[in-house]
A = this chain, B = another copy of it.
C-alpha cells in the first residue's frame, strides 16, 4: 500500500527534521533534561485553573461541552483583544481566530497562503515546528542570519533584490531557540520592506510576556498598522507559555483578506478549538489572575536563566559562547571551535544529561556547533549537576 509519491517525499523531509527519535531517551531515569521546550508545571496556577474550570462547567456547561463557532467563542475573542491591546496589538474580536495553540495558527496560515515552491524566509536559527509547517505547505525555505539583535534585515533586503518572497516567519521576542529579540530599528526596516515588496510577516509571539527587563519593543503588527500596512502582518500568540499548554489554546490576529480563508480551512481541519478550554480561559481571564501569574513566571524564569547562564559561563565558558537571555525559556550557545553537538549528545546522554543539538533549528546549512539549553523546567540543583555532566562529556 503506497502513499502518494509527493507525500512520501514530503514525509521524508519532515522525518529528517523530527527530533522525536533523538530525544526519546530523555525521559530515562536519572537523565536531566535541558532539552524540553515546555514550561515549568511547578509554576502553573493550579488553584486558578481549578477555579476557572469549575466556574466554566457550572456557569456555562452547554457552551463548554457543545459544538461552538469555528472562529472561537465571541466573549473569549473580546478578552483576547483586550489582552492584545496591553501588548501593543490594537485589534478587535472580529480580527481574531482562536486556534489549538499557536502551532495550529501557523499551520493554518501556511495552508491559506503558500503555493508549492513559494519562497518563505525564516531566521537562522528558527523554531523547528515552523519549519515543519512550511515543509508541509511545500514552501521553498530560505534562511537569513541573525545576531544578538535578531534577524539581520539587511541580509533580507539584499535577498529581495533578486528574489520574490511570499513571506517572513519570525519570533521577534526571545526567539526559540536563539533567545534574542529583534531591535526596534530592524522592526521598522522589516515592516517597510513588507510594504515595499508586498510580502506577509508572520509575527509569532509566544514568549513576549516572559521579559526579564522592563523593555518592551513595539510589535511588528503595531508598527505596520501605524504605517498603514496592517494587512501585511499576522500576529500569533498562545496561552501555552503563560497559562497551561495542555488546554491547547492560542490565537491569530489576521488581516481581512486572510481571516475568512483561515476560518474555512480551520473548519475542515478540526471544526473549532476545544470549547471547554475556551470556556476555562474565558473564566480565568475574568478572574483577573493572569497579570500576577505572568509576574510569577517572569520572576522565576529570570532567576533560572541567570543561574544557568552563570553555571555555563563558569563551567563551560572556555569552550562555549552565548548571549545572556533577556526573556523566554532558552539559552542558545555555540562552541568556540568547530564541533558536532548531535554527535556529542550521545556522550552527554551517557553522562545523564540531554539538550537539543542546534542543527535541527536550521532550514539549511546547519551550524552544528550550536545547541539549545532550556532553563524553564530544571531546578537549580539539576542545572548545577547538568552543567557538570556536560563538562564531563567533553
Contacts and interface: CB of A to CB of B under 8 A. Distances in A.
A373 B231 CA distance: 41
A114 interface: yes
A380 interface: no
A270 B63 contact: no
Interface string A323-338: 0000000000000000
Interface in A257-281: 257-258, 261, 264-265, 267-277, 279-280
A166 B4 contact: yes
A119 to B, nearest CB: 11
A88 to B, nearest CB: 22
A15 B264 contact: yes
Interface string A61-91: 1111111101000000000000000000000
Given A244-B65, A245-B66, A268-B132, A113 B274 contact: no
A67 B240 CA distance: 9
A269 B65 contact: no
A68 B245 CA distance: 9
Contact of A38 (B14, B67, B232): B67
Interface string A117-129: 0100000000001
Contacts of A1: 198, 200, 231-232, 255, 257
Contact of A46 (B3, B61, B70, B240): B61
Nearest to A115: B4
- Copy tally for this chain in the complex stands at 2
Contacts of A103: 268-271
Interface stretch (A48-56, A207-215, A361-369): A48-56
A4 to B, nearest CB: 3
A207 to B, nearest CB: 15
The binding surface of chain A is classed by DSSP as: helix
Nearest to A70: B20
A118 B66 contact: no
Nearest to A229: B1
- Interface size bracket, A side: 35 or more
A113 B247 contact: no
Contacts of A11: 112, 261, 264
Contacts of A160: none
Given A38-B67, A274-B274, A3 B113 contact: yes
A116 interface: yes
Contact of A54 (B7, B54, B62, B66): B54
12 contacts: A1-B200, A4-B166, A7-B261, A20-B264, A38-B67, A49-B57, A54-B54, A67-B240, A100-B274, A246-B275, A247-B276, A248-B273
Interface of A: 1-7, 11, 14-15, 18, 20, 38-39, 41, 44, 46, 49-50, 53-54, 57-58, 61-68, 70, 99-101, 103-104, 107, 111-116, 118, 129, 132-133, 135-136, 166, 198, 200, 231-232, 240, 244-248, 255, 257-258, 261, 264-265, 267-277, 279-280
Given A4-B114, A49-B61, A100-B274, 13 more contacts: A7-B112, A7-B113, A7-B115, A20-B267, A38-B67, A49-B65, A65-B246, A66-B244, A103-B268, A107-B270, A245-B275, A247-B275, A276-B280
